[in-house]
Amino acid sequence: MLSVIKLAALYVSCAVSVVRCQQTWAQVLRGQVLGPLYVLQDGANTSQLVAGHTIDPFVQDDKSVPAAVLVAEDTLDVIAAVNVAREYNLTIAVYGGGHWPINARSADNGLTVDMSQMRGVIVDPVQQTAVVQGGALGGDVLHAAEPWGLGLPWGDANVTGMGLALGGGIGLSMRQHGLTCDSILAAQIVIANGSLIEISSTVNPELLAGLRGAGTVFGVVTEITFQLFDGTADVYAGNLILPDDANFTTLQCLLEFTSEALAEYPGLGIEVFSMPSQAWITVNFHGPEKMEEKVAVFAPLRQMDPISDLLAPGASNFYAVNDYIAVTSFQAPAKAFVLSGLMSEEQFNSGGLEALLEANGVAMAPSGAVLLTDWFGGAVENTTSYTPFNGAYLHYFWSFPDPDTAVLLAKAAELQNMMADHTTSFYPYDNLATDPNPEDNLASKVGGEENLEQLQYLKGLLDPQNLFRNHQLRGLTPDF
């Protein structure tokens, strides 16, 4: 039996007054919430301000346009929105801090719940925890934790929101501290019947694993409690950019260098990038090694005449490190991340490296692309999350500038064929605007068939009518 903290008025009774019955759903919702509700008037252009609020951030590449956007002030606003969406059979979507999948944050002709004003963070320096509202950004957490010498494994930028944590959380500190979702201790979530339930290791523990990696599937997560780590070690971070040739000689060198360096230093996080004529690494090195040793690790790369060397020592301020990395990084000229794949260490050492270089040549022609590789291992090997990253060695994906989605999908299919024998699993990266077959590869997205069956079971418990359909595992439905 699920533990209920609060229970809103769930259903519209037959005894409701005639006046109430004649109200539109927007009027009903507006009467129940503190936050502003912005309704797109019939015939209005989405770029115009509607009651002081623009709808544009919620209009995605698939051209879905919400009928209204509620800017929630608190959890009670979220409960009211869920109840109205259920009672009036509306499509509902949630906009958190901004890192939600593209299709997940806009409800076409439905209701989008914007939690971007719910950004509170409370740090307990004794317990080394942070209680975070659902609309907060990673930077909010890192900024609040930094005065206490604490950190949270996060992505590469402070502007990403809690969707990163709920979907897994790949970042440069994951090899030492795990995925972001592995640091989730507890959460509060509004489920489809309007109840606010708590999830932790002692309350509804069967749901905790599902929250780690598939947290947007079951409802609206309004609060997360994270375990923080001791972040007092000095950091060496930044970017090193090198020239490359048509054969990707520098890229090959960087991939081989990274493979060897990571085997020796578990606290080293590296991402390797490639684009026409250039290759570079992004580094976040915050292990226990002395700064002199951290600097010396990259001496061989400095002998390759870098275009730009922005690697630098810094204090244990992860907010500042993420800002520095974001500022010094190239911005990928991309419409969407189209293909994402995982490679084991054995695959990498048995032809996978060569296959990746060959496929990169195809990806770059004719209009260019950006290749990004994330490297796993270390603490990620022990992840308890519903993600496919356990046992993975290398995560790669290409980003393309072509505005034509059909062209992007065709390119992805070609690359998938080239990498088929060297990849553990494929799946479209969640920022892809249009996944033509969302049911495909669901098992690979959650770490196997057994995990998929468990998630479907939990979905059936919490959302039997599949009210929450806009999430990072599009195609996952309740299993009865």
What does the buried/exposed string (b/e) look like for 126-153 if buried means 16 or more CB atoms within 10 Å of the residue's CB? eebbbbbbbbbbbbbbbbbbbebbbbbb
**pLDDT for 425:** 81
Could you give the C-alpha distances from 91 to 16, 96, 204, 340, 353, in angstroms and in order?
Answer: 23, 17, 27, 28, 44
Q: Is the pLDDT of residue 463 over 70?
A: yes
For range 117-144, the mean pLDDT: 96
**pLDDT for 1:** 45
Sequence-distant (6+) residues with CB within 8 A of 223 are 75, 131, 132, 133, 134, 187, 188
**pLDDT for 50:** 45
Q: What is the CA radius of gyration of the chain?
A: 23
Question: d(Cα 300, Cα 272) in Å, to the nearest integer?
Answer: 16
**pLDDT for 65:** 77
Looking at 94-108, 244-258, 273-287, 388-402, which range is the least confident one?
Answer: 94-108
**pLDDT for 321:** 65
The pTM for the full model equals: 0.87
DSSP assignment of 332-351, as one string? P--SEEEEEEEE-HHHIIII
Sequence-distant (6+) residues with CB within 8 A of 471 are 101, 104, 216, 217
Pairwise pLDDT comparison (217 vs 195), residue with the higher score: 195
Q: Is the pLDDT of residue 180 over 90?
A: yes
For range 77-102, the mean pLDDT: 85
